[in-house]
Structure 1
């Protein structure tokens, strides 16, 4: 795979002088280390009424975050597809489409680029403004992966945000059906793993399931429109938060290995996870009430409400 080279400073000066990019974009690209993959005047299709937002996708290699972004804007602006070794993204890529900004960041699980990836995610969080943040994860044999929850925790520790969504991507049909069973062990296990490992002040009930799409298998840089339920989850259901640059700390890449080992031990011990949830009873009940209000007490509105209610019933009451 050819490695994408950042444009030299003189190229940005020339483009800015010709008026092909704004001087502000030139300054940001030349000094902040992001790759501006696209700049357009019009909003993407279907974004009517959406406030100006920084849409930030975070995920380890192979989770499909770039494909989700391409499907959201319906253009193949972010590199996606098969990559042997590390991920396709190694710096943070930025597309400015209308009044919205779309940010694609590298994952932390690649040890050869971990420090660079941590710096890229930190920089993506420092763009100022209203954010919608999504962690894109996958399951391994039906279980939450330690590298995914480690990435989530390190990013959340550095960010002021307690508003974010989790997209569980590329589920096979069996996993997808099992996780939709409100009384099933699969749902209980996945939710316990996600909510039991996150910082107590950074819990989020906004979790969405996405089934594997055969049309995307082995295809590079595809922009297939998202399913309506996923699109609504990103644009409508999941809340956002205003973030200022000064509120963001550096992501501690040096803690990744030790934290991953800790997460592996915790994920392997169901009783330890249950104890962690029991210690968060008040926070989980508050989130349940928030979801009830948001969903109009309709349990059919989504995975998050049903799973949270099930956890409270099974583990806490």
Structure 2
């Protein structure tokens, strides 16, 4: 087959609900596809990005039992944009809570961008529960990746005009630590300043994730509720480096050696450049790394989507 694969036709969840996971958090979840099919959990990006109906369409509904959920504070989960008890360890524990709640023994784990980070953290913590890993736009939360996005000389070199918009809400004397400066605005008492900062942070995200300019993407990222959740939660994780030590996920990759895996990585991904995916491949030689020559960051990029759907089709028969 040479024709690129696309999303499966639209289909609705067969059930949906909220699950109390403690700490005042309740997660929105949906299950779709074949109730007796291969189990898969989808982990969205951000952090704080939330899920969308198109996410489940990366899987054949005739062969997969698909669990999609919104992580703490994101999407329809409550409380909205909350930073309380919201860390990587909490999210890893939530995935296990969902697995046991639904009586699932083992499942495929599929995540892109921040979802790739969370997928790796979960798989390293619970390798016996993971049948396969499918990752897109690998982000390991090492310092160079944070600096690429939030210090001059990285993505700012590619998008100088958008960078000027990004730093505009921050006083000149505070621009040496943009993550910290944004944190003060996003957690401050001034509601107007919070929203201005959230929209600027999320607009920068929208620029770096698209290979070509996309007004629809920018409009989505900068809508009030989406911007607040993405900016507050993402900044919260960036400020704490994801609660991950430098090199922790690469070191943990030794636990993945017996797990079949595929990485789909856009060559021109300006949000999570290929360097991290390549490093993960060196630490986990058994994984299949597909670098898409005309791909960017988003799963909807034609070449990236083709690689992801081919991976899920392959693993559906395992």
Q: TM-score range, shorter-chain basis?
A: 0.3 to 0.5
TM-score scaled to structure 1, two decimals? 0.35
TM-score scaled to structure 2, two decimals? 0.34
